[in-house]
Amino acid sequence: MPFISVSEDLAAKGSTEVENKFITKYLPILDAQAVKVYLYALYVSRSGFAHFTAEDMAKRLDMSDEQLANCFEYLEEFELVSITSRSPLEIRMLDAENVYGSPKKLKPEKYSAFASSVQAVITGRMISPAEFMDYFYLLDEYSFEQNALLMIINYCVNLKGNDIKAAYIKKVAKNFAEDGITTAAKVEERLSSYTSATPALIKIFSAAGINRRPDPDDSSLYEKWTNELGFSDEAIVCAAKYFKAKTALKIDDALTELYKNRKFDPKEIEDYCKTRNSLYAAAAETAKALGIYIQDASPYVENYLGPWRDMGFEPDTLNIIAEYCFMQGKNSFDRMDEYVRSLADEGIITMDAVTARLEKVAADDKLIKNILSLCGLSRRITEYDRQCLKRWRDWNFSDDILLAAAKAAAGKNNPVAYMSAVLSSWKNEGVTTPDEAASVRRGADESTKALIEQHYYDLRAAARARAEKALAKALKDEIYGGIKKQLNSLAIKLAFAEVNDEIKAEELKGRIAELEARGNERLEQLNIDKSDFEPKYKCAVCKDTGYTEDGKQCECLKKFIKANKL
């Protein structure tokens, strides 16, 4: 439907003509913009432009959509048009012959005394009939007391001067009306609060370098800052200074951020801003050390640098960790985050502690490189190699014993797995020195059994580790993590209820089912497969044990024995 339609009487005339009554009775008192809009709307309605929109008309008349809508509201007061829809804007043109020259809603004669008072307040210019009609409309539409509106007009004139625009007065008055402030008593109370806030705002604006007088919008913000958020004037000035806020809205943004981070005292704000600035610099340095480029540091500060700083890591320490992560191929913020959190879990946070850990890692990698070389391997070190070294160390083997085992594994098809089997056998036999290892005589069957056991142990451990990692990733999500905690709690309650209270048990089962459905839905949103939470064994038949349920060798075991010539 076009946004302007026409009554049947007017459409029947078949031409774009302006009635004499419009010229004699309306033209002298209508606002010039409104006349322009009315004449163009009349032309559009007669021309049958079915696809002509309000936006098209505003563009043709060089005005905003809001100005166009205001003009139609103004014309509606004179019953020259009818607004049948505001979103989207749809207008129905009315027949001026049905009207007698004055709007039904507003009767200017009853506001003659008010009009004289307004002209006495705005002394710098003559008020046009259209502007008076705007004020009369405010009185009628919003039920303002005349003295209340006069007080608002007087306040605006004192604030902006005698050349004040009517649009500003209307905006302020509508803001008052939206807050239900339409009586003289309430307006006086609100203006009193504005006046009391002005000296503080002038001081704040001066500190922030804002070169204008505060207005009612600023006073509303000041009330929010002091009463709702709880900031002192000194704290607001401090925030404006350190955030370099050059507008009232920028100050509002700064205070909102400080409120979220519970920083209210000027000293807290100063420290927070200095740390905040250093974190932005640290984010750039960390990205550089990781070998990546970031255009906007804000999300990295919020998601990584901020939390790392809260854990106790200093920027210099993080830079060292980033360099290590780059060398290890963990050159992303996500992978570095995993490593940083693992260090924090172990209490390794200070520069000295991190340096000591990285030196130990370097020494371990040097040992692993030597072990691989003795095994006859020249490949890069993997995380599996580090896990093996940790396990061997947990068995209390010295570096010399490990090197002896590496020599024993040289030439084997899977030397690292064979080495684990050898060490497992030595552990059971109490071997603690290379000399003892050299004197040990092990049968082929024993060696083969140890190698097979170690191989399948590693497969099962890897499957469980993958499942645990997948679950840990899902639990990092705040929503799914919360659901999982509730499910764990309800599972315990269900165990007791199934013994003592069948009705309660059924109720708990229903709640658990509902939570599980919500959890599954959340996992779908995160693109996480719930089946990944269970170990996925390399061999589904024996589940990485080497033997079927009836105790027979699995096909995968037979292939392993053949491949390793056991």
Quick one: which of 298, 340, 309, 347 has its CA closest to 322? 340
Domain map of the chain by residue range? 4-98, 108-182, 188-264, 270-349, 357-442
- Rounded CA-CA distance 67/357 in Å is 68
Asked whether the beta carbons of 409 and 418 are under 8 A apart, the reply is yes
Torsional sign, CA 389, 391, 392, 393: positive
According to DSSP H, which parts of 414-540 are helical? 415-429, 434-439, 444-475, 478-500, 502-525
Tell me, what amino acid is at 39? L
Q: What is the pLDDT of residue 136?
A: 87
Q: Could you tell me the two tokens for 482?
A: 């919360």
This prediction has a pTM of 0.39
Q: Look up residue 87 and give its DSSP letter.
A: T
Cα–chain-centroid distance for residue 181? Answer: 36
State the pairing for strand pair 81-86/89-93.
Answer: antiparallel
Q: What is the pLDDT of residue 107?
A: 59
Tens-digit pLDDT string for the chain (566 aa): 456 665 555 545 556 788 777 787 777 778 888 899 999 998 888 776 667 888 989 999 999 988 998 899 888 877 788 888 888 888 888 776 544 444 444 556 678 889 889 998 898 888 888 888 888 888 887 889 999 999 999 888 887 788 888 888 998 898 889 889 999 999 888 888 776 767 788 888 888 888 877 777 888 888 899 888 999 989 999 888 888 888 889 899 889 888 887 889 999 888 878 777 777 888 888 999 998 888 888 888 888 988 898 888 988 899 899 988 988 888 899 999 999 999 999 999 999 999 898 888 888 889 999 999 998 888 888 888 888 898 898 888 999 999 988 988 887 777 888 888 788 878 877 888 887 777 664 444 555 666 787 788 888 888 888 888 888 888 888 888 888 888 877 877 776 677 667 888 888 889 899 999 999 998 888 888 888 888 898 998 888 888 787 767 789 988 888 887 66
CATH code: domain 4-98 is: 1.10.10
Tell me, what amino acid is at 29? I
DSSP secondary structure of 233-282 = HHHHHHHHHHTT--SHHHHHHHHHHHHHTT--SHHHHHHHHHHHHHHHHH
Residue 346 burial by Cβ neighbours in a 10 Å radius (0-12, 13-18, 19+) = exposed
Local structure of 520: helix, strand or coil: helix
Residue 153 CB neighbours (<10 A) = 21
Contacts 24+ apart (CB under 8 A), 139-143: 139/111, 139/114, 140/105, 140/106, 142/173, 142/174, 142/177, 142/182, 143/182
Q: What is the pLDDT of residue 5?
A: 62
Instruction: Give ∠ CA 396-400-401 in degrees, rounded to 5.
Output: 55
Q: Look up residue 302 and give its DSSP letter.
A: I
Asked whether the beta carbons of 228 and 221 are under 8 A apart, the reply is no
Quick one: which of 345, 290, 292 has its CA closest to 321? 290
